[in-house]
Every structure is written in structure tokens, then in C-alpha cells.
Structure 1
Amino acid sequence: MKIALVGTRWFGAEMFRLLNAAGHDLAVCATNGEEDALAKAARGAEVPTVVLDNPHRVGAAEIPAESVDVIVAAHTHAFVTADARAKARVASIGYHPSLLPRHRGIAAVEWTMKERDPIAGGSVYHLSGGMDAGALAAQDWCFVYPDDDAGSLWRRALAPMGLRLLMEVVAEIETTGTVQAYDQDTRAVTLAPLLAPAA
């Protein structure tokens, strides 16, 4: 399939490697500058790549393909606009490290720890006009251990879960030509804004 990957850092680079190894035709929008892991991985593989430096939005012009089957957002905090999403024939999906609709926002893992949630999880959702508000395509959960912090929870469970879930949804699209979408429960929405650094 033709896939546009929008992302950053280790998670974005790992998603790139998995999609590339699976034989997908990739185009990349790396949103954390030239030295970002995803930018380096894509350029090293000679994949069409647009590199941006921490944009607030990714529009159609930043998707380096006329059209794609799927847009995959993998660790990007930039909003993917409606005109960009319109380039995707089947779906525009992203991964959020919470059991949406809980902890919508930039600091989901940190709020999982702050709220002392005993269970965490990850969600693949359809990108939409609202922050982390799109219909759900896949979810999974994990325990939060007593000795976890945000970093260990991300590395141990939520990042590997996200890579697996995204690949499962991409495989579903490749096999069936579609992807499930079920609405988030709006009664359970909580927000996860950026937390102030500890003094």
C-alpha cells in the first residue's frame, strides 16, 4: 500500500522500519527537524521525505505524495489538517498512549501516572478535527506497575503496544480495504494537558 507516515523520534523511526520491512510504498513527513530519528531513517532509505521543525499543523503540501491509501501518525504533536487527511483514500490513523477517551492530550502517559491509574493502554484512532477525538480502530491495555514512571511505562508497554496495534490496523486495511471505526464514549473524556516541570 501507499502510506504517508507523519511522525518523530524513536517511535516514528521504528514505525518506518516496520512499514518499510512489510513492503509498503512510503512517503514521510518528519516533524522534529533534520536530526530527528525518523528523518534520518527515511532519508537513509531514500524515501521521499519532507522535514519540518516542530510545526503546529501538517497540511496537504507537507504530505510528500499526491495521494495515499493511508496516513499513519506516529508520535507527532502536529495537527494533521482536513486537506491533508483528504489525501488518504482509506483512512488517516494515529496512535495515542491511553485508553481513549481517557487522557486526550499531549501528556497522556504523565497523566496516567499523576492520576495513579492502575491500568493504562493504547488506542489507534481515526484522525479528525478534534484533539484525539476520532473514532477508534483498535485498543489494548496493560497494568501499571508500582515501580513504573512515565518513561518506564512508555518503554515497557505503551510504545511496543502502539507499534503492534498500528501494524495490525494497517494489515487489516491491506487485507480488507477498510478499517473499523467505533465512537469514543464522550461521557468518559478526560484531558491530559502538558504538565509543568517539577520544581
Structure 2
Amino acid sequence: MRITLVGSRHFGVATLEMLRSRGIAVPRVVVADGGDRLALAAETAGIAVTVQASPKLVTAAEIAPDTDLIVAAHCHARVDRDALAAARLGGIGYHPSLLPRHRGIAAVEWTIREGDPIAGGTVYHLADRMDAGAIALQEWCFVHKGETARELWERVLAPLGIKLLAQVIDHARTHAELPAQPQDERFATRAPRTTM
């Protein structure tokens, strides 16, 4: 399996390490900032790095040839239709909420702000609308009383994301397809950037 990884920061690096530890070929890493730690980790590993022409959009030209799957790991850009069509299985991303709840850039912050006793993570299909694609895999967790968004992310949501991505990728390797369950729009909520 050949995966183009689109992402940033620590979670992007952790995802890259998970992919490489499983013997998955990562011919290219796509980043919004060439100085990002994911770009540096990829260069150190001898992996080609492409910096997005637009920080808000990933295009087909930025996806490695013969890509089987695009994986978004801490990516805030939309992967356009042509880019998704360039990969045999399309693309998946990890979102730190139980989608369709808390769609948006500040899902963990809104989990804390709204006092949710339960949180979780979702691996979902990348689609035209952000965080709205079909669910491939989802798992919940408890939120500890008094926990901050950063604590929740570091304690459980980031490790959960790596675990869920690995499970979905293993499924794709075995079955040459991705699980897909449509999101129930009746339960969708937004999680825009907050000043918390």
C-alpha cells in the first residue's frame, strides 16, 4: 500500500512513524509549512516533501503518483475532489470527536466547553464538506472532571487517533476497501475556533 500523508505537527509525525512501523510505503508527505516538524521528520527519513500551494487546499498535483490512500493527520486544508480521485481508495482523516458532533477546528476545546462527559475519535472519509464524510471507524472515551482540552488530547485522543487510523488502514490493506457509515446530520454540531 502507498499512502500520501497530508498533515502537520506532532500528530502528523506520530502518524508517519505508525505507517513506517507497519511497512507501509509513504512516497510523499504534503504540508502547509515547509518548516513544520512533519516536513523535517519526512526529510530525515528520505521521504519527498511537497508544500501546498495554498494552505487551505490540497490538489491532485500534490498527491504522489500511484497513491492508494490519502491520510490526513492534523490537516486543516480541504483535499479537493481531483486529489481524492487521484488515490485508488480516496482519503481518510482523523477527527478528535464523535462525528458528527463537534465538526470543526476546535473539537476538543468544544468538548470541554460544553461539559461533554464522553468524547471520542473518528476516522472518516475525506469529502467536499469538512468533517462530513462517511465514518470508517469510531471509538469513545470518558472525559475526566477538570481535564483541559490539551490534557484530553494528549491522554487519550491523540493515541486513539493513531490506533483507529492503523485499524482502518489494516482493513484497507486486507479488503481493498474502506468501511463507510454515513453521518447522521440530525446530530451535527459545529466547533469553530475558540479563544479558550
What pairs with 1:80-91 in structure 2 (closer than 5 Å)? 80-91=79-90
Segments of structure 1 that go 5 or more residues without pairing to the other structure are none
TM-score normalised over the length of structure 1: 0.95
Q: Which residue of 2 aligns with 1:188?
A: 187
Structure 1 residue 116, shift from structure 2 partner: 0.5
Structure 1 residue 54, shift from structure 2 partner: 7.0
What pairs with 1:62-141 in structure 2 (closer than 5 Å)? 62-63=62-63, 65-141=64-140
Q: Secondary structure at 1:170's aligned position in 2? A: helix
TM-score normalised over the length of structure 2: 0.96
Per-residue CA deviations over 1:88-133 (Å, capped at 9, x if unaligned) read 1023100000000000001000000111000000000000001100
Specify whether residues 12 and 54 from structure 1 end up closer, same or farther in structure 2 by C-alpha distance, changes over 3 A only.
farther
2:155 maps to 1:153: no
The alignment-based identity, stated in percent, is: 51
The one-letter code of the counterpart of 2:99 is L
Q: Secondary structure at 2:5's aligned position in 1? A: strand
Contact 2:103/2:190 (8 A) holds in 1: yes
Per-residue CA deviations over 1:46-69 (Å, capped at 9, x if unaligned) read 112212487010111122x12311
The one-letter code of the counterpart of 2:9 is R
Structure 1 residue 30, shift from structure 2 partner: 3.5
Count of residues in Structure 1 that have an aligned counterpart in Structure 2: 196
- Whole-Å separation in 2 of the counterparts to 1:62 and 1:55: 12
Contact 1:60/1:84 (8 A) holds in 2: yes
Aligned alpha-carbon RMSD (Å): 1.3
2:2 maps to 1:2: yes
Segments of structure 2 that go 5 or more residues without pairing to the other structure are none
Contact 2:29/2:47 (8 A) holds in 1: no
Q: Which residue of 2 aligns with 1:27?
A: 27
Contact 1:31/1:78 (8 A) holds in 2: no
Per-residue CA deviations over 1:2-23 (Å, capped at 9, x if unaligned) read 1110000000001001101211
- Whole-Å separation in 2 of the counterparts to 1:156 and 1:66: 36
Per-residue CA deviations over 1:155-199 (Å, capped at 9, x if unaligned) read 00100000000011000000111111011011100000111x25x
Q: Secondary structure at 2:173's aligned position in 1? A: helix
Q: Which residue of 2 aligns with 1:45?
A: 45
- Whole-Å separation in 1 of the counterparts to 2:139 and 2:91: 19
The one-letter code of the counterpart of 1:159 is A
Q: Which residue of 2 aligns with 1:178?
A: 177
Structure 1 residue 42, shift from structure 2 partner: 0.6
Q: Secondary structure at 2:147's aligned position in 1? A: coil
Q: Secondary structure at 1:112's aligned position in 2? A: helix
